[in-house]
């Protein structure tokens, strides 16, 4: 049986009858104080709060338009959970930032099963990334979408970690320049090349993909070098958006971050995308904001 301690002196208590409404009364053996132990509703209220938070239910549909619910759960809005310090090295971690507003951003780091840390900031900057990464042991591989300031923080905090640029975001960056319906042959071929990134599953396939990108550059060199003139007679590259799309891929190839997941020295299966954090965590946060 669980022993009841006196709230005044801390010694053991004995049963001392019951009050009129039926609650048990207790008497301290040491200081002889008599009291009743109030029932703590914190656990049940917290379960009620979490059940609402992770559901689609809205407060206006609750009895009394949610007034009783707000009275019970108001204390939990003041809680500010702090992330733990992770000292065990992970093989692979996923890092991403989700913008909740104009000046509100959450940086999140997770492994294949759990969230390792988070940091609330105004924007994705190197200092904010450092604050998040300093509390987590250096992993072997980091999968990132290339957020602002992340590369600078990576070199400073996790210099020995290998970086894998999410190929989905790399493909999306090309699509922003070419659109899904390119009007030129060069644009259509480059858009197709970016989609073929998802089919690269070996070192030979990666070399073949890089070779195809080089052939595309040679084939359309005259087209890409075309120049137009503005109203002031100043020359400007006519297909600047295509060149930017191609350059975004060239930068990743030269930095060695596009095909890190094919590195034969890794003793584990490395993911090529950031889907673990995008679909498993960020999507849930966005859904929570929509519902509530």
Classify residue 252: in a domain, yes or no. yes
Three-state SS annotation for 164-231: EECHHHHHHHHHHHHCCCCCCHHHHHHHHHHHHHHHCCCHHHHHHHHHHHHHHHHHCHHHHCCEEECC
Among the listed ranges 146-150, 250-254, 259-263, which one has the minimum average pLDDT value? 146-150
Q: Please say if the pLDDT value at position 256 is more than 70.
A: yes
pLDDT digits (tens, 9 = 90+) for 183-209: 999 999 999 999 999 999 999 999 999
Classify residue 189: in a domain, yes or no. yes
Q: Please say if the pLDDT value at position 2 is more than 80.
A: no
What is residue 167's predicted lDDT score, i.e. its pLDDT? 94
Classify residue 91: in a domain, yes or no. no
Classify residue 141: in a domain, yes or no. no
Same domain, 35 and 47: no
Classify residue 85: in a domain, yes or no. no
**Mean pLDDT taken over the chain:** 90
Same domain, 33 and 67: no
Classify residue 241: in a domain, yes or no. yes
Same domain, 182 and 251: yes
Read off the pLDDT of each residue in 211-215 and give the average, rounded to a whole number: 95
| Residue-range definition of the domain harbouring residue 25 | 1-39
Residue 119: pLDDT band (50, 70, 90) is: very high
What is residue 160's predicted lDDT score, i.e. its pLDDT? 93
The side-by-side arrangement of strands in the sheet containing 162-165 is 115-121, 104-110, 92-101, 141-144, 162-165
Same domain, 192 and 238: yes
Residue 102: pLDDT band (50, 70, 90) is: confident
Q: Please say if the pLDDT value at position 86 is more than 70.
A: yes
Classify residue 157: in a domain, yes or no. no
Chosen domain end from 78, 106, 125:
78
* Exposure of 7 in the CB half-sphere (CA atoms within 13 A): 6
What is residue 280's predicted lDDT score, i.e. its pLDDT? 83
pLDDT digits (tens, 9 = 90+) for 158-182: 999 999 999 999 999 999 999 999 9
What is residue 206's predicted lDDT score, i.e. its pLDDT? 94
Triad 84, 279, 177: Cα angle to 5°: 115
Same domain, 29 and 51: no
Same domain, 1 and 71: no
Q: Please say if the pLDDT value at position 38 is more than 80.
A: no
Residue 146: pLDDT band (50, 70, 90) is: confident
Chosen domain end from 78, 104, 133:
78
Task: Give the residue from 86, 69, 218 showing the smallest Cα distance to 157.
Answer: 86
Read off the pLDDT of each residue in 286-290 and give the average, rounded to a whole number: 87
Same domain, 30 and 50: no
Same domain, 220 and 246: yes
Which residue pairs, CB below 8 angstroms and at least 24 apart, start in 70-79?
A: 72/41, 72/45, 72/48, 73/45, 73/46, 73/48, 73/49, 76/45, 76/46, 76/49
Q: Please say if the pLDDT value at position 1 is more than 70.
A: no
In the DSSP assignment, the letter for residue 279 is: I
Same domain, 195 and 255: yes
Same domain, 72 and 51: yes
Chosen domain end from 78, 104, 134:
78
Q: How many domains does the chain have?
A: 3
Classify residue 131: in a domain, yes or no. no
- Percent of the residues in the chain that have a pLDDT greater than 90, as a whole number: 59
């Amino acid at each position: 049986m669980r022993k009841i301690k006196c709230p005044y002196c801390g010694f053991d208590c004995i049963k001392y009858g019951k009050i009129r409404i039926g609650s048990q009364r207790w008497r301290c053996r040491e200081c002889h104080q008599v009291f009743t132990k109030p029932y703590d509703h914190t656990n049940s209220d917290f379960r009620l709060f979490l059940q609402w938070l992770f559901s689609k239910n809205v407060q206006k549909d609750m009895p009394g338009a949610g007034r009783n619910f707000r009275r019970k759960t108001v204390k939990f809005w003041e809680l500010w959970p702090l992330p733990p310090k992770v000292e065990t090295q992970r093989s692979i971690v996923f890092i991403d930032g989700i913008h909740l507003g104009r000046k509100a951003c959450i940086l999140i780091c997770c492994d294949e099963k759990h969230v390792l840390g988070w940091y609330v900031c105004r924007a994705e900057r190197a200092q904010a990334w450092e604050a998040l990464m300093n509390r987590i042991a250096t992993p072997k591989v980091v999968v990132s979408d290339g957020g602002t300031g992340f590369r600078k923080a990576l070199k400073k905090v996790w210099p020995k970690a290998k970086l894998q640029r999410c190929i989905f975001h790399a493909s999306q960056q090309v699509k922003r320049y070419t659109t899904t319906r390119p009007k030129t042959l060069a644009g259509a071929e480059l858009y197709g090349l970016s989609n073929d990134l998802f089919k690269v599953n070996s070192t030979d396939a990666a070399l073949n993909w890089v070779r195809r990108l080089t052939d595309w550059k040679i084939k359309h060199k005259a087209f890409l070098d075309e120049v137009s003139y503005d109203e002031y007679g100043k020359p400007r590259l006519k297909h600047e958006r295509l060149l930017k799309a191609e350059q975004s891929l060239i930068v990743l190839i030269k930095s060695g971050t596009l095909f890190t997941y094919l590195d034969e020295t890794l003793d584990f299966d490395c993911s090529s995308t950031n889907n673990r954090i995008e679909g498993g965590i960020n999507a849930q946060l966005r859904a929570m904001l929509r519902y509530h």
